[in-house]
Every structure is written in structure tokens, then in C-alpha cells.
Structure 1
Amino acid sequence: MTRTPKLPRTPRANGSFQGLPDDDTLLEVLRTARELDVSDLAKQFGLKGDERRALRQKLKLLSESGKLNKSGRKTFGAVGTLPETGVAEVVERDVDGDLWVKWGKADDPKLKHKPPLARLAPLKRTVAQTPPTVGDRIYVRFEYVNDEWIAHLVKVLDQGAAKLVGVVRISKKGKSGREIRLESVDRKAKDSYTLVAGSIDSLEDGDVVIAAPQGGTHRFGPKPARLVEVIGKEDSPRIASIMAIHAHGLKVGFASSTEDEAKNAVAPDLKGRKDLRDLPLITIDPSDAKDHDDAVYAHADEDEANPGGHVVWVAIADVAHYVKSNSSLDRDARDKGNSTYFPDRVEPMLPHVLSSGLCSLQEGENRATLAVRMVFDADGKKISHSFVRGLMRSAAKLSYEQAQAAIDGTPDEQTQPILETLLKPLWAAHACLTRGRNARQPLQITSVERKVQLDKDGNVVAITPRVSLEAHKLIEEMMIQANVSAAETLEKHKTPLIYRVHEQPSLEKVGNLADFLSTIGLPWNKGEPPRTERFNQLLNKEKDGPHFDIINEVVLRTQMQAHYSAENFGHFGLNLDRYAHFTSPIRRYADLIVHRALIRALKLGDDGLTDYEVKTMADTAEHITATERRSMQAEREAIERYVASFLENKVGATFEGRIVGVTRFGMFVKLTETGADGIIPASSLRDDYYIHDDTAHALVGERTGKRWPLGRLIEVELLEAMPMTGGLVFKAISEASPPDPNAPRVRLGVRSRVDSSRGGKPVPRNGPGGGSRKPGEKPRQKGVTEKSKTKKGKRR
């Protein structure tokens, strides 16, 4: 590495310096200015010629070492800072109802460290515009106050989600009038609204509607809103999914031109394709699957040079044949980004005539496919692969349960004839791939998914855990290897693609993990780079111990969120250098782009990736990341509402659960049987004043030292179930855990009021209404006289 030449620094008369600054001075200047380009820095220090070149070299070295961010070709900024002003996107609403924004350049791959999110400051009373909400693009002024970044709204640039979903509540007003309130279905929402415009005369109590805020200045009381659409009744069994769809702006249905294109689609013949119809490929999917993206076939490798090796075929529906670039089908698919799955319905990315018809690899039907043939050695290491565009015919359609039962010794009429010839070779190949997976050491975090079962009318009849079978793992690993093969092929041919990336945990998150582990007596070297093998060692060592569940939860929270990117940052969770989504083009637009890229790279047809798609690859990656997260949030909210509906008639019952979240205002509990999530407000813990210990992930009693730690099993009583919002409120039946003798004693907190019934003793104040503060924080209620400084809880 080239060293920066050391040049003399001559003090100026005013106390500043003439000449090349040292690292500390340079970093301090950038911290103060937030962001400067090389020319501005050179002028500030009076540098010319060789000194300017030395400055550029110094900035490059500091950037490579991670001490500053390079946010442009010649622009640098201090790590962890935001510019004075900039375009931002409202990305989420936290549990307190506050909005958080992301700076527009935050996803720039040139940035070594991602800038922090900023909390959106409350609107000024004089701002007469519709308040921003999640999904909006806004222009803001950033300010660093009390250890957190605040974004002050200057202008709303794009109102991406300016609507409300709520339940109508009608009350009498005066002798003959009525007031129409809107009860939001978003339990994090702070504001209340009154419907004052639109076709409101025919509204009835219990109508579920979409409304738009009217804007304007309203100092007190509910804000005005305009009725947009009535979407259902609150007592409708299927309203949960409908509310989630509208609340998140999911596109429903397709343009008529898209439907026409799908109806007129023609299946391909063998021209330009390899005939794979004699290859006994089979599909293995959930029992209720309507579309079948992938089919598999495996056999022992007959090559004497690869003893113990296996050949695995993965055939994927050739969606690119039907969905041409910039067609109406393509535009609708890109807008949606992915299919969205609810307990009672699917909002597909493609029309059903394709997703469940021509693109679905149905048993006994000729289907267009893009397939990959992969060869693995005896240790499960992939030694070669090749792609073909062909015509296939599925030999069997099996469910995971069918295939597993056959391998376990109870085949049925469909699986018995193919047990020896198809299923057992598949399982032998899976055993081979598993050896390679174990050597690779992907992250092994434990998680349990739940399935909401509905009757024909849409009522919840059961909530059951999804059982993980070896058949699931077989398909998963074969799909992973096909995805890797796609990424490797496109990199080899220097063809742009959309990667599926999962960056390694930040040093801050790993440091937080280390701090937590120290509270339970487990060592972790903060200076050690994050490695999946190291996380797995920790989880395996503690799997039978008393702290496994909390360790598993904290390790999960340490991880970053996977996303799509036109640049490769690797996939930390799978421990892979390169990874792309190739195997589900029916339901993910990313996979369709990868298919087109393979067609272009391998010259498999004239319907490959276009130059325009190459040019806009980064924008597409950002867009489909946003649509994926939008769908995930909508799916989660719908499930929460269905679960709350299921538990509504069980108020007063007791359940076993586990503490899965601890905040300053309470504890989140996941019930063992149903997986339902709810909250125990800190205000309900009356035996002490509980303080949030964010290092130990616990609520700690200020007087007694008793603890409510993350991961602890707990018995709770259900106090309230709210189907419209999906909210559940619990009461702790179990006693708090005893004090930890090794933990530092918490400091005495400030009390906000005195109760005469307690002999003048302070009343413990917990909960989000102002007592959910740490000791010394200023209460939110009016009439409180303490002047201690408030410090807003940081987003984590």
C-alpha cells in the first residue's frame, strides 16, 4: 500500500494550518462540515499541486480503512453523519408512532458505513400540507440533537402513501347532526381523524374505509379527512387481508392489456430448445400450492473421475418466454415486484392464466423451462454446472409431506412407483449436498413459523406451527445451489444482474451482542470479524442451556436485512460470495431479471435482458427491495389481525409464552402455542418501577432489582384482543426473576407525582404515556414540574 508523503504543516496567523492536515484534523473538519469534496478541502487548507495529490491519497486511505465515507466520486463525509439538507424517504413508523427517514444516498454502495436513520420532527403548526407517511419522499434539513439525528420537513416531494385505513365510528352531535370519527387500524398511529368530505352521508358504523388527510393547521382535536372508498365491514371474516392490502398500497389485479397478453400467450415448441421431456423431473411443493416454479431430478454421477458424486437437475419455469421486456405484463409485474401471500388469498405478480397455467410446471404437461445441470463431488462441492433452455414434462406432482412419508417408509399409490427410481436418488444427492452445506457453515438460527388455517367462510379455526421436514431442506439446498450457479454464470460472462445480498453485521451490532453475552457470563471478542461459523459455535454450545432462546433471539437481531442490489456484497447468512434469485420467476421479479440476463449472456434467444434494463438495474433492485418489504409488512399485519380475531373470545384465559422483546414501555410476548405476539405494558408491573437495561435486554426493578429478561418463559393472562389492529395486551401472571447479584445496581429515578394514599411516596410511572421514561427524563404529561432533560429513545 502506498504511504501518504508527510508534508510540513505551517501555522497561519489566525491559528489554522497551512499545508497538508494530519488525519485527526482532517476527520474533525469533515465531522463539522459533514460532507466536502476534494476541491473544497484543498481550498480550506491552501493545498496545490503535490499537496492536493497527497490529500486525495490520504482521503482514499481513510476511506479504505473505514474512517470516513466516500459518497461521490470526489466527495467524502465523516462516518455516521448526514448532510445539512437532502432528499429522504419515510421508511417506517416505530412503536411510539414516530416516523423515521432514510437519506436518499444511504444505499450508495460507495459508502463503507451506512448513515443512520433520522427521526422526523413534529410538523410546525404553520405547515399547511398533508403530513408525510411511510413511503413518501421528502426534502428535509438534518440536525444532530441529544445524541440522535432529527429530520425537519421542508417539503413533501412525492406523496407515495397519502391515505388512511380505518373503521367508521358514528356519534350524535347536537340535536340532528352526527360526527364521523375514523378509528385507525394502525395501532402505532398517533393522530385521530374526522371524516368531513366525500360521500359520507351513507356511511354506517363499522364500515372499513380508505380516507385521505385534508391537511391544514389543526392545533387541537381530530384532524379532517376525506372519504375515498368503502372497502368492507369490520365483522367480515376476510377483512384482515383487505385492510392490509389497502393500508400498504398493494396493487390489486391487472390492467386489461395485461390480462389480454396473458390470455393470448402461446406455449413454445422445440425450436431453439433442448428436449428434456424424457428427464423424470418432479415438483415438490406445499400441498395447497397452485403454481409450481421448480422441478428437480438427481442421480449418481456415472463419471469414473467423480466417485461418490451426484448430478442434480433444477428446472425452472421459463417465464421470460411469456413476459417480454416492457410489455404490459412486464410493467405490471415490475410494479408489483412480487406476489403477496395472505392466509385467505394471494395477490399474484402474474395473471392466473400464466402463474397457475402456462408457467406452472404441471404434471404431464409440456412446459417451457430454463434448467441447470449441476455436478457435485462426494463432499458436496459443486464442480461444474451448465444452463439449457428446454421443453420439459413433469413426471409427478408431490407435496412435501407425500415425499417425506415415502422416504420414511409409508409411500402411497403415487410415490410407490417412483420411490426407488426418483425419490431415493434425490435423497442421496441431498445427503451429498448437506456435507457441502455443513462445511460451508451457513448461519443456523432457529425460528418457528406459524400457519393460520381458515374455514370456507374465512374464519380462523386453528393456528399451527409449520413443520420443517427433510423434504423442505432438500428443495431449499438444491434451489440455493441453482441460485449460486446463476450468479456465477453471469459474472463469468460479465453480464449485469440483480444480486440477493445479505451484508455482515455491523461492528455496532456485534458490540451490542458482546455486551449482552457478558451479562450472562459468555465471552465474545469484539475485535473478531463476524463469521457465521463463530455464531454457529455459540448457538451449538448453548443449545441445551438455559439461555439458548435469548441467545438465539439476540443473534437474530444482530443480523442485517437481506435485500436486492446491482452490486455484489455477498450473502453473509448463507456464507456465499455470490448469490442471485433464479428459482421463482412466477412470484419474484428479481428472478425474471436473472432469467433474462442468462438468456442474454448464453445467447439462448432474442428475449433476453435489454440495454435499458441494464442501465436501470440499480433502480430496479431498489424498487423490488421496497415492494418485498411492503409485502412482508402487509402479510405480517394480516396474520396479526387474524390471530387477534381467533383469540378475541379467549380474553381472560392464561397462556404460556416467551419474552421476545423488551423496551422502555413494556415487554413483547410470543405465545408458545399459537405464536401470537402481544405486549405487557410496563404500567401494569405494579410491584416496582422498572427500567429498561438495553445491554442486558431486560426490565430491571429500580428498588428490588427483580428482572424481566429477554427470552424468559412466562405465564400471561390475555386482557384485550383487537382484531382491527391486530393488537394483543397481556398481564404477567408469573413473578419477575430474582435480582442478578453480578449486575450493577440501577440508579434511583425521578418520580412524576405523589399519591397521598401511599403516605406521600412517589407513584411508579411506567408506560408510553410519559412514565415510560428512564430515570431523569422529563415526563410528557402537563403539569409536571421537573426540569430534567428528555432524551428520546433511540431506534435500534
Structure 2
Amino acid sequence: MAKSPKKPKPAGQKAAGQKPAGLPTSEQILKYIEESSAAVGKREIAKYFGLHGAEKIALKALLKDMTDEGLIDAAPGRAFHKHGGLPRVTVLRIAAIEGDALWAVPDRWESPNPPPRVRVMEKGKRSALGVGDRILARTEERGKGHIAHPMKRLQAGGETIVGVLVSDTGPNGKPMNWLRPADKRARFDHPISDMGDAQIGDLVRAELSGRGSNIKAKVLDVLGDPFAPRSLSMIAIAKHEIPHIFSNDVIAEAEKASQLPLTTDGREDLRHLPILAIDPADARDHDDAVWAEPDDDAGNAGGWKAIVAIADVSYYVRSDGALDREARRRGNSVYFPDQVVPMLPHILSSGFCSLKQGEDRAAMACHLVIDKHGKVTSWRFTRALVKLRANIAYERAQAAYDADQADDGWDADVLPTLKDLWGCWLALAKARDARKPLNLDLPERQVILDEAGNIAEIRVRERLDAHRLIEDYMIAANVAAAKALEAKKAPVMYRVHEVPSREKLLSLKDYLETFSQSFALGQVITPATFNHIIDAFQGQDNAQEVMEAILRTQTQAYYGPVNAGHFGLSLGSYGHFTSPIRRYADLIVHRSLVDAYHLDVPHKPKGLPERTGLGEQDRKGLAHIGEVISRLERRAMDAERETIDRYVAAWLATKVGEIVAARITGVQNFGFFATVDGLGGDGLVPVSTLGRERFHYDEAARTLDSELGRVSYWVGQRLDLRLVEANPISGGLRFELPDAPEAGQPQRRGPRRDIRRDGGGRKDGKGKHLVGPRGRPKNIRHQGRKR
């Protein structure tokens, strides 16, 4: 059992029991909070440092200053803890079960940074805890992470879960009805207390009640046939409680907004320009369109003029109205292979707000002047009226440019405009290359459905110059929007991506050392630092593995009114402006531009809020809105990723028993995870199936090494596996080795083996090598490492 940390000596104390001399410093308070084994509030601090009377009043002010400065946070109950850390006693929610390990996250987490994962230390051999359960726990830091000791399991009543109804035997051997969770991390099925109108095999949403081993499920809603088209996305919608039905008052306001007139009053008429929208072939809405031409100004020889036209959503969605409240509640649109859950009703999102060929549309236009080196030298924003010349898929735009040939049905000026867009983009690309943003090129999976909603194909989405072209125009407009608002000292909803933490950089350093790749922590970390690492592995089999490791090193981007720059893009100011149909953050930026540059339109509609700028709720709660929409964005990303995994499992369900080419994506002490090449989806190969030989888990190198050094499994290793199970409901896969380990040739580490020879590799705390000659691990299960 770990020893309780010693309490620090109170400030100014010279002998035991002597009263401290005056108010402690913030450093002394922070040290006391960090090292205390119990919850620390104002009363505990005052008692510990011997404060009385006026000193207590001064302590209250000091604690407020420390909170405002971001040194400490106040947990429920007014107990303090280190900023970004965990309270000593807090409520956790079980988030994942990996082998025998339980992992939890804080039930409430106010920080914009990702919540920490906490290892739950269970008592006894079996636990009644499952995914979604809430516990009151005592937490402590251990090494680079946190552990939690459960104190009490909280009532599960009111918690909802999505799953499939199945019939199976109960504890008494008789048939019973059970709810099988749709979450692949869940360990238990739950007995049904009330089926309602549901039938065995139905996909349902249920409420859990009870505690311990007596938790039962009551069916609330029948979601339908789990194998019917659209059901796989409905699982994610129900599980993450994503709002997907608009109320009558929201629909009514959207219909009123759709009747707003489109005139040139207060708008620049750009309908004569051949503005183009270039989007995915399966795009459900069209936020943005672009145009460019060479700049004839003598002072900008070789330069360009460009317009990025963005749907003028703020014209239709007025602050503090029913539409606005619903858009803020949703935060963003959520895109699935079979449907989209839009932030705005379809009459606007895919209708009147969407920029479509041949239709008059309201737009917010960002006018850019770009020099021959790709630097944006000036910008201005106007409200405009546009009529797109064409909506073009990325693939068609790329093919037309490469072949220098227009598609049938295109107007005569479409191809010349495409060429100008490319010419201007080549200049923007020069500026991007000089800026050296993070260059991660990781594959994106694409699910292709037929007309009936069945899977036709799953493939890696092709990456074209046409994609990069649009990205660079959007980045230029987003930077211009942020800087334009800064020039007016107006509110900005920034997109913030902070520098990676030292802890993550240290983990990356340990990992890269297993490749004999050095990584100095003392250097100034920039995106180019990581690009050099990527370049070093270019063309090697483990290049994708290294990029994934670098991606895990990055902090999670978030929205907020305080600028901390965008590390990944290597930009000092960055605000999202280009997708207001599907992101509430962009709508905030549009409204702020309306106010800062006096762009409000004269029309005052009946039954709708008058102004199109920032509302009272926007101005008062910008920081809170940023936190909320950041959380909702993470929810959408989780739902989209899980749904893709379910489609992959559904695609692979017909291939159970077959041998598939796979790549190891994660290694733990209980086994390794692998993904199918070109498809994705993670499945576990338990260590218990790897043979009789014991395996050692090397955390830094991310390997499982057999005790005698004959077999090794590492992250990035490619191997053939037999698919044992593919569950479309949960998205879970399970693999096994095609043959018993004794039947095949030993797996050698290949390119890493040279660094594990005697005289190289990692060492223990006494300087002894942890690896013997020829790369065979010594018996080091407990050597030089805390367990």
C-alpha cells in the first residue's frame, strides 16, 4: 500500500506547534493542496497554517486570486485542487474496461482540455462496476497519471443505455430477457424489468435502476431493427443523446426566416462573378464558395485577388430566438454515412442557407488581396448577394484541372475560374510551406452506401490537391476574420490549439528512443519539430504508426474567447468563420463581424429578432458558450467515429473465420489491439491466446515480449489474423492468431532489434540494461519500475 505523503511544514514554523508567521504564499498553499491525502478547503488551509481573524479574510482573497490565475480549481463542496488536476475526493464515471483494468473520467469536467483517464483500483477479484457507473472515489497522482480508490457506488437510477434485447439463460438456468449494451466496452448484460412493447431482437433505449448485482433495465423507447438502414447511426444518436428532432416553434421560426427577402439593400452584388463551390460528392450542405483572379494592381505584380463567400446564416438565425437557442444546444451538425443530424432545420441547412448553383443566396464575403509569395496583405468583409456558377465535387474539379478540360454542362467561365483558383492557391501553398504547419497525413475512412442504404464499399478517402486548395482558402479567411475582429477590439470565438504538454512530449521521447530516434525536450517545440520526425520515417512501414503517436501527443483543440494561438496550423490568431451552417462558433464570429463593421441589414422582419449581430447571451456568456460547444464537438466526433466502426463491423460480419491483413494499433499487458488494413475498426487479441509462454509488457516501447525472447508484438507490426467476431451493434471486433504460436516462425522485431542489444536500449534505476544480448529481455517483470 502506498504511504501517505508527509504534510509540508507550515509557512514560517520554526518548531513543532509554533504558529506560522503570517499569510502563506500561493506556492506554499499549492504544495499543501498537492501533497495532502484528504480534501482541502478554505477551513483546512486556515487550520493548517494557523490563520485567524483578518488573516482568514486575506486567505479568501488569495484563494480567489489563485483561482483567477488558473493555479487552482474549486471542486463541488468548495474543496480546492491543482488547476487541470483532480479533486482528492470526487465523482467519477466508468468510461472503459480494458482487460482487467477499469478506467474512469470525472463525472463533471469544466476545463476545455480533455479530462484525465483514471485507473480505478478495485477490491476483490470481481467487481460489479460497469461502463457508465458513477462512483465516489479518493484520487491520487501516481507517476504520470491518476489512480482512484472507490469509496461508494452511486445510485444508477436515471441512467440510460442503448442496446439490443436478447433471450438467454438466467442464473437459475431458466430463460430470461436481457439487454445487451451497444457499447463494446460494457462488461455486463442487464436483466429486463419491463419490456414494454419491445420484442426480442429490437434495438431499444432503456433506463437502469438498482445497484450492485441487482441493476435492471426498463425499456423506454424502441429504436427499431438494429440491422435496418440508418439504425447504426441511430445507436450513436441515442447513446450520446444527440438532439435530432426539431420542436414545432423552431420549425416555425425557420419557415419564417426562409421567407426573408434577398435584395441588394445593405449587400454587395456579386452575382456577376463565376464563384464556385467545391465540396465532397456526398455533401449535404454547402457553406463556402471561392473565386480568384490575377491582381491588375501595379503594386501587386504576380499577386491575386480572391473572395471566400460564406453562407450568411446570421441573417436567418437571429440572436436569442428559438432557432438560435436550438443551434446553441446542438453546437454543431453531426455527419454519419447514412444521415446528417443538422444544427439547423433542413429548410435552412440544406435549403435557403446552402450555396447552390444558379440560386440567389445571402453570403458573407471575405475579400482577400494576396501577394505573389502567398501572403495575405489586406482583407475586408461585406454582406453580399451571390449566384454560384457551379457546385463541383473535389474529384471532378481535380480531373478538370489536370486534363484542362471542362465537364459537359459547365458554363464557359467555370474552367478559367478553376485555373485561376489553382494559380492563387499555389501562391497560398508557398506561404503555408514557409509557415511549416503540422503535416500529419493520416487516412480517413469513407463508407459508401447504395440507394437502399446498404454498404457498397468501405475505402480510404483519396487525398487530392483540390482538398488542399479549399483548405488553404478557408484558413486564409479564418485568419482574416480573427485579425479583423482584433483590429476592432471586438469579441472573437477563437479556435485554440495549444502546445503539447511536457508529459506527452516525454512519452513521445521514450517511444521514439525505441527506434533510435532522438528527441530533445529542451528545444523550442514547433510543428516543424514534429515534421522533421515524420520526414525521418517517410516511406517506412512504421510511418503511419509514428504519425499516430505524434497525433496522440497533441492537445485537443477547443473554442474560447481568449487567444492562445493554433499550434498545429502554426498561426497566432485563428477563428472559425467558414462553416456557420454546421458550427455555432462560426455563427458567433459572423455576428461579431456584423457589429464591428456595421454590416446589419436594414430589413426588420415580423416575428423574428431584429438584429443580426451579437445578442445579450452571446456577449455575456462567450466563455461558457466556448466550453459548451467544445464539449459538443467532442461528442459529435465520438459519435461519428463509433458509427464508422459499426459500419466496418457490419461489413466484416460476413468474413468471420477468414484471415485478414491487420496492423497492431495498441499494446497492453492483457493483449494487443489490431485494425484491419484499409478498413479500420479495433479488435483485441488477448494475451491468454498467445501461447503458454509468459509475456512482458514494455510500456515505453509499446511491446509484448515473450519471456524467452522468441516472440514479440509491437505497435505498427503487420501480421495476418483470423477474424473471430464482428458485432455491428457495438462495433467490436475480436481476432486470434491463425495458428498456435508454436506452429509458426518466431516474430522478430525487425528494424528495432538493433537497439535492444547488450550495451543499448533502456536501463533501470541503477544503470543496468533491461535487455540482454541479441535483443532478448531479461527477467524484469518488477525491475526498475513501479507497478
Q: Is the pair's TM-score, using the shorter chain for normalization, greater than 0.5? A: yes
**2:650 maps to amino acid:** S
Secondary structure of residue in 2 paired with 1:426:
helix
TM-score by length of 2: 0.83
**2:205 maps to amino acid:** I
Q: Which residue does the alignment assign to 1:69?
A: 71
Alignment of 1:112-131 (within 5 A): 116-119=116-119
Question: Per-residue displacement from partner, 1:611-641 (whole Å, max 9, x unpaired)?
Answer: 2211111221122122222122222222211
Secondary structure of residue in 2 paired with 1:371:
strand
Is the counterpart of residue 266 in structure 1 residue 263 in structure 2? Answer: no
Q: Which residue does the alignment assign to 2:327?
A: 333
Q: For the residues of structure 1 that align with 2:226 and 2:66, how far apart are their CA atoms? A: 60
1:469 to 1:615, Cα distance in 2 relative to 1, 3 A: same
Q: Which residue does the alignment assign to 1:313?
A: 307
**1:239 maps to amino acid:** S
Moved more, 40-49 or 593-602: 40-49
**2:86 maps to amino acid:** L
**1:559 maps to amino acid:** Q
Is the counterpart of residue 150 in structure 1 residue 148 in structure 2? Answer: yes
Task: For residue 363 of structure 1, report the CA deviation from its aligned partner.
Answer: 0.8
1:589 to 1:25, Cα distance in 2 relative to 1, 3 A: closer
Secondary structure of residue in 1 paired with 2:413:
helix
Moved more, 670-679 or 382-391: 670-679
Task: For residue 527 of structure 1, report the CA deviation from its aligned partner.
Answer: 1.9
Q: Which residue does the alignment assign to 1:716?
A: 721
Root mean square deviation of aligned Cα: 4.0
Task: For residue 417 of structure 1, report the CA deviation from its aligned partner.
Answer: 2.4
Q: Which residue does the alignment assign to 2:632?
A: 627
1:182 to 1:335, Cα distance in 2 relative to 1, 3 A: same
Secondary structure of residue in 1 paired with 2:577:
coil
Task: For residue 790 of structure 1, report the CA deviation from its aligned partner.
Answer: 11
1:235 to 1:369, Cα distance in 2 relative to 1, 3 A: closer
Contact 2:561 2:623 in 1 (8 A): yes
Contact 2:274 2:414 in 1 (8 A): no
Secondary structure of residue in 2 paired with 1:11:
coil
1:95 to 1:625, Cα distance in 2 relative to 1, 3 A: farther
Decide which of 496, 503, 512 is 1:501's aligned counterpart.
496
Q: Which residue does the alignment assign to 2:604?
A: none
1:174 to 1:272, Cα distance in 2 relative to 1, 3 A: closer
Alignment of 1:108-507 (within 5 A): 116-119=116-119, 140=136, 142-144=138-140, 148-150=146-148, 152=150, 162-171=159-168, 179-199=176-196, 202-215=197-210, 217-219=211-213, 223-264=215-256, 265-267=258-260, 268-409=262-403, 410-415=405-410, 417-418=412-413, 421-507=416-502
**1:736 maps to amino acid:** Q
Secondary structure of residue in 2 paired with 1:188:
coil
Question: Per-residue displacement from partner, 1:724-775 (whole Å, max 9, x unpaired)?
Answer: 211111223485224642446999xxxxxxxxxxxxxxxxxxxxxxxxxx95
Task: For residue 81 of structure 1, report the CA deviation from its aligned partner.
Answer: 4.8
Q: Which residue does the alignment assign to 1:754?
A: none
Count of aligned pairs: 727
Alignment of 1:537-576 (within 5 A): 537-576=532-571
Alignment of 1:602-621 (within 5 A): 602-605=597-600, 606-621=611-626
**1:238 maps to amino acid:** R
Question: Per-residue displacement from partner, 1:359-398 (whole Å, max 9, x unpaired)?
Answer: 0111111111111011122211111111101111111111
Is the counterpart of residue 737 in structure 1 residue 748 in structure 2? Answer: yes
Contact 2:442 2:544 in 1 (8 A): no
Q: For the residues of structure 1 that align with 2:244 and 2:25, how far apart are their CA atoms? A: 58
Task: For residue 75 of structure 1, report the CA deviation from its aligned partner.
Answer: 11
Q: Which has the higher relative contact order, 1 or 2, with Cα contacts under 8 A spaced 6 or more apart?
A: 2
Q: Which residue does the alignment assign to 1:101?
A: 105
Task: For residue 58 of structure 1, report the CA deviation from its aligned partner.
Answer: 14
Q: For the residues of structure 1 that align with 2:614 and 2:547, how far apart are their CA atoms? A: 41
Task: For residue 79 of structure 1, report the CA deviation from its aligned partner.
Answer: 6.7
1:104 to 1:650, Cα distance in 2 relative to 1, 3 A: closer
Q: Which residue does the alignment assign to 2:3?
A: none
Instruction: Structure 2 unaligned segments of length 5 or more: list them.
Output: 1-10, 601-610, 739-743, 766-779
1:691 to 1:611, Cα distance in 2 relative to 1, 3 A: same
Secondary structure of residue in 1 paired with 2:633:
helix
1:701 to 1:46, Cα distance in 2 relative to 1, 3 A: same
1:566 to 1:149, Cα distance in 2 relative to 1, 3 A: farther
Q: For the residues of structure 2 that align with 1:244 and 1:218, how far apart are their CA atoms? A: 26
Contact 2:112 2:558 in 1 (8 A): no
Contact 2:437 2:568 in 1 (8 A): yes
Task: For residue 115 of structure 1, report the CA deviation from its aligned partner.
Answer: 7.9
Alignment of 1:524-543 (within 5 A): 524-543=519-538
TM-score by length of 1: 0.82
Contact 1:405 1:411 in 2 (8 A): no
1:39 to 1:450, Cα distance in 2 relative to 1, 3 A: closer
Moved more, 674-683 or 325-334: 674-683
Task: For residue 21 of structure 1, report the CA deviation from its aligned partner.
Answer: 7.2
Alignment of 1:594-605 (within 5 A): 594-605=589-600
Q: Which residue does the alignment assign to 1:31?
A: 34
Moved more, 304-313 or 149-158: 149-158
**1:342 maps to amino acid:** F
Secondary structure of residue in 1 paired with 2:179:
strand
Q: For the residues of structure 2 that align with 1:601 and 1:132, how far apart are their CA atoms? A: 51
Question: Per-residue displacement from partner, 1:693-712 (whole Å, max 9, x unpaired)?
Answer: 11011112122263211112
Instruction: Structure 1 unaligned segments of length 5 or more: list them.
Output: 1-7, 125-129, 748-773, 778-788, 792-796
